[in-house]
Amino acid sequence: MLIREKVLAVVMALFLLALALSGCLGGSGGGNVTTFELTISVSGQGSVSPSVGIHTYPKATAVTLVATPAPGWFLAIGLGTC
């Protein structure tokens, strides 16, 4: 896989994660939302903390995400708005 493709795969994964965290992919909120689900996955090679899977957090909880690319892979972050 070319470096450009590796970077693109990581960027897309992080972009989707950012959208999910911002509420752009659902959770339109019915007014009394008290918990949010955070789905974490890895596209490409590397690791992420919290681990891959679905995590539930109370409203207003700050979650620290740590993404570590595998050797030969690069981490690129692209954030957008809804």
Q: What is the 3-state secondary structure (H, E, C) of 17-38?
A: HHHHHHCCCCCCCCCCCCEEEE
Is 50 among the domain residues? yes
pLDDT of residue 6: 67
Is 28 among the domain residues? no
Query: Range of 73's domain?
Result: 1-23+34-82
How far is residue 23's CA from residue 21's CA, in Å, rounded to a whole number? 5
CA end-to-end span of the chain? 31
> Taking the complete model, does pTM exceed 0.75, yes or no?
no
To the nearest whole number, what is the mean pLDDT of the chain?
74
Structural domain total, the chain: 1
pLDDT of residue 18: 64
pLDDT > 80? residue 56: yes
Higher pLDDT, 42 or 70: 70
